[in-house]
Chain A
């Protein structure tokens, strides 16, 4: 089945630094990828939709300059959290649409900003 590989699985960074999270589709081409944020015991909140070769579409209230999304190839999308602060600490999850079969999710990245 379709697999989305997300790295790193966890990362700790200092306040003010930037962190990049990668999602790769391993055995299929992902034209569209989605990035979510999830707080403890809450649902997934869609941050943005990225389409290969074009600018990402951000959901209302998501700072595009803080959460930079790049989808430069059909198998790789990246989320960069710039100038991270403790309030950016969260669980970030990517997902790719896999045709008519639905969506496949990455395993998530736990970001802790200290």
Chain B
């Protein structure tokens, strides 16, 4: 059972455009929703994260929109640049002792973003 569904699988955007990646989750116990950026041959790096008590969080060109009732959250990359070309993963985690999950992250399948110059 995939608990975090991510779309699209791949995305091509022109330089300066807006990249939008969506995720949907099933487990209402999730309370932490991070987005990670991964370049080939490297580990994931945290971009931005949100908790369910807010509907939006913005850090520079990156914005998370969170819809608790719909159990969806999305990443918006404004003014996309070629250097943003990477794989992006959404994830979610539960509080400790929530079903014995011990804080482990559940990842989406990833979105390969290509920003054309």
Contacts and interface: CB of A to CB of B under 8 A. Distances in A.
B43 A107 contact: yes
Q: Interface residues of A: mostly helix, strand, loop or mixed? A: strand
Nearest to A93: B43
Nearest to B112: A41
B81 to A, nearest CB: 22
A105 B43 contact: yes
A17 interface: no
Interface stretch (A67-75, A79-87, A96-104): A96-104
A106 B36 CA distance: 13
A95 B41 CA distance: 15
Given A32-B103, A34-B104, A42 B109 contact: yes
B105 A46 contact: yes
Contacts of B105: 34, 46, 95, 103
B56 to A, nearest CB: 18
Contacts of A105: 36, 43-45
16 contacts: A6-B43, A32-B102, A32-B103, A41-B110, A42-B109, A43-B109, A43-B110, A44-B89, A49-B104, A93-B43, A103-B105, A105-B36, A105-B43, A106-B43, A108-B41, A108-B43
Given A46-B105, A51-B102, 10 more contacts: A6-B43, A32-B103, A34-B104, A41-B112, A49-B102, A49-B104, A93-B44, A102-B32, A108-B41, A108-B42
